[in-house]
């Protein structure tokens, strides 16, 4: 007979495995028993050739180049709603398969300040909104300290928030170079359509992806750069500040600088 402690261990192991799968986005059991699909290549039906070519097939170079396709889909979006639809329809980024929600934006359209973060975490993936977890709460407190916020009705004090990636990477790993390259055209179009006076590049991934620089965030934070014809301020990410509270001094200096810059712009 199996000792009770073994039952308990098996139960806890199975429960932990289930919790992990739910966390990874598994929401459906396909089979009763696992199958090694790598062992079934012969059974996969080969795609049949369509009788006629699709009416509006993309040029071959675009069809095979995910970044070119991202560029053309982003460019075709005429407003923020269309850009969101374009992202939802973009087929080449596999992160979408593991995510619960597409996280597009939060805050006020027309805000003078647009924040671009890195990627959704667990809470953001669940709620479909950027910066709503612990780092997001710190971000709200930081901007609250200079009387700005995502819910502020006055565009001069409002924030508009997005991320480089709209889907959560598994276990919050760093986005790969390929994922960043695919999403960059969408973020550029996002900035164009949102048309803020100032862009805040929140953290290492945002600053390096958008400025195409390998300079470290601790080196370039607080230095005004030009990005898409407007001032951009690289800042330390609130998740970093949670781990490194001593760096809040620098973040505070950057917030005051941002506030001063807003006063100087028309
Ligand atoms: N960190 C980010 O960069 N973005 C989010 O939306 C949440 C955490």
Q: Where are the alpha helices (DSSP H) in the chain?
A: 4-23, 60-64, 66-76, 80-89, 95-98, 122-127, 134-144, 177-194, 204-211, 217-220, 238-243, 248-264
> Does some domain include residue 140?
yes
pLDDT of residue 178: 97
How many domains, the chain?
1
> Does some domain include residue 11?
no
CATH classification at residue 144: 3.40.470.10
Domain coverage including residue 136: 66-264
pLDDT of residue 8: 62
> Does some domain include residue 59?
no
Q: What's the start-to-end Cα distance of the chain, in Å?
A: 80
Residues near 132 by Cβ (< 8 Å), separated by ≥ 6? 106, 123, 124
Tell which atom from ligand 1 comes closest to the C-alpha of 164: 3
pLDDT of residue 19: 66
> Does some domain include residue 170?
yes
Beta bridge partners of 160: 107, 114
What is the rounded CA–CA span in Å between residue 92 and residue 35? 26
> Does some domain include residue 42?
no
pLDDT of residue 64: 77
pLDDT of residue 266: 85
Digit-coded pLDDT (tens) for 220-254:
999 999 999 999 999 999 999 999 999 999 999 99
> Does some domain include residue 23?
no
The model scores a pTM over 0.85: no
> Does some domain include residue 178?
yes
What is the rounded CA–CA span in Å between residue 149 and residue 164? 20
Q: How far is the CA of 266 from the centre of ligand 1 (A)?
A: 30
- Our mutation pick for probing the ligand 1 site, out of 121, 160, 175, 242, counting the most ligand atoms within 8 A of Cβ, is 121
Burial string for 229-256 (b: 16+ CB within 10 Å, else e) reads eebbbbbbbbbbbeeeeebbebbeebbe
What is the rounded CA–CA span in Å between residue 255 and residue 261? 10
Tell which atom from ligand 1 comes closest to the C-alpha of 205: 3
Positive or negative, the CA dihedral 118, 122, 128, 130 is negative
> Does some domain include residue 250?
yes
Give the residue ranges of the chain where pLDDT is below 50.
43-60, 62
Residue ranges lining ligand 1, Cβ < 6 Å: 117-121, 124, 130-131, 133, 135-136, 163, 203, 239
């Amino acid at each position: 007979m199996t000792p009770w402690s073994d039952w308990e261990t098996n139960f806890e192991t199975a429960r932990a495995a289930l919790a992990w799968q739910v966390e990874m986005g598994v929401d459906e059991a396909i089979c009763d028993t696992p199958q090694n699909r790598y062992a079934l290549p012969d059974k996969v039906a080969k795609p049949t050739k369509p009788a006629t070519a699709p009416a509006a097939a993309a040029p071959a170079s675009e069809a095979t180049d995910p970044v070119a396709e991202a560029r053309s889909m982003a460019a075709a979006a005429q407003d923020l709603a269309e850009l969101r639809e374009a992202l939802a329809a973009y087929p080449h980024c596999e992160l979408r398969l593991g995510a619960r929600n597409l996280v597009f934006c939060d805050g006020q359209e027309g805000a003078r300040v647009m924040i671009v973060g890195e990627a959704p975490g667990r809470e953001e993936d669940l709620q479909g909104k950027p910066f709503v977890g612990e780092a997001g709460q710190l971000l709200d407190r930081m901007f609250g300290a200079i009387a700005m916020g995502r819910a502020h009705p006055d565009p001069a004090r409002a924030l508009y928030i997005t991320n480089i990636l709209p889907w959560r990477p598994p276990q919050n790993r760093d986005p790969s170079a390929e994922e960043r390259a695919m999403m960059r055209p969408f973020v550029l179009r996002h900035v164009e359509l949102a048309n803020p006076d100032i862009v805040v590049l929140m953290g290492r991934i945002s600053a390096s992806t958008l400025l195409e620089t390998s300079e470290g965030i601790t080196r370039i934070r607080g230095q005004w750069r030009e990005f898409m014809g407007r001032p951009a301020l690289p800042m330390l990410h609130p998740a970093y500040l949670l781990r490194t509270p001593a760096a809040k001094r620098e973040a505070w200096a950057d917030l005051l600088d941002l506030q001063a810059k807003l006063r100087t712009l028309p």
